[in-house]
Amino acid sequence: MKRTGLIFFLLTLPAALFLGQQKTPLHPTLPTITFARVWEAYTPQDINFTVQSTGSAKYLSRNPFTPPDPGSDPDYTLDFTISTRNQEKLFRDAREANYFNGDFSFKKHPVASTGKKTLTYGDPDRYFETSYDYSENRAIEEITNILTGISNTIEHGRKLTFLHRFDKLGLEDELKGMEAAMESHNLAELQIIQPTLESIAGDSKVLNIARQRAKRLLAKVKSE
């Protein structure tokens, strides 16, 4: 019996050691920021970001409160690399906001809702989460603006791809709206959709005014 017990112990020991070394989802190996926004009145209604300290990022958008069109994909996902400048800003701001350990929600008086937002920070040693609709904290506000600006860029890129294929005449209005959003600092990381803009700018079948708008946006990419 003693020998049998010893054999069982030796066989199960490696598995036990392995399980003890596993990281929980709350404690990723690399410092990681996640951001989620749920805003039923907006499109997309639900966006999610995961950004690692290496700059590797994942994006998800969906519209869970609206019945999907037949044949459409309810979820859109994209893997991309965030610029070094914004990657450094995000993690610097996270540190300034005490890694989201606290209540950063504005409570002085009611404000128009722009969706429930949740920020989390995780690394091997810590995990914190905070939720808010609007915040006066500078670091929280900057993180929110960067990530919603990236979402705006990605979603505009999706629409440009669709219009370029199915409605070239609609490209001019969409690009005009993007230029206005760029001037209002509501877009970020334009390099994510650079191939789409280059395809439009170089397409002789697209109206010249739309091509010129695409070229001006491409110039913004190079200047960033």
Question: What are the tens digits of pLDDT across the range 75-91?
Answer: 999 999 999 999 999 99
Helix residue spans in the chain (DSSP H): 2-21, 84-96, 138-166, 171-183, 194-201, 208-223
Instruction: Report cis status (omega within 30 of 0) of the bond before 64.
Output: no
199-215 pLDDT tens trace = 999 999 999 999 999 99
- pLDDT at res. 222: 79
Mean pLDDT value of segment 55-62: 97
Q: How far, in Å, CA of 92 to CA of 63, rounded?
A: 31
- Element (DSSP H or E) covering residue 47: strand 46-52
Q: How far, in Å, CA of 133 to CA of 166, rounded?
A: 37
First to last CA, the chain: 72
133-170 pLDDT tens trace = 999 999 999 999 999 999 999 999 999 999 999 999 99
Domain boundary assignment for the chain? 18-223
**For the chain, what is the mean pLDDT?**
89
Q: How confident is the model at residue 71 (pLDDT cuts 50, 70, 90)?
A: low
Q: How confident is the model at residue 70 (pLDDT cuts 50, 70, 90)?
A: low
31-41 pLDDT tens trace = 999 999 999 99
pTM (2 d.p.): 0.86
The CA R_g of the chain, rounded to the nearest whole Å, is 22
DSSP 67: P
Between 23 and 35, residue with greater pLDDT: 35
Length of the chain equals 224
Q: How far, in Å, CA of 148 to CA of 21, rounded?
A: 36
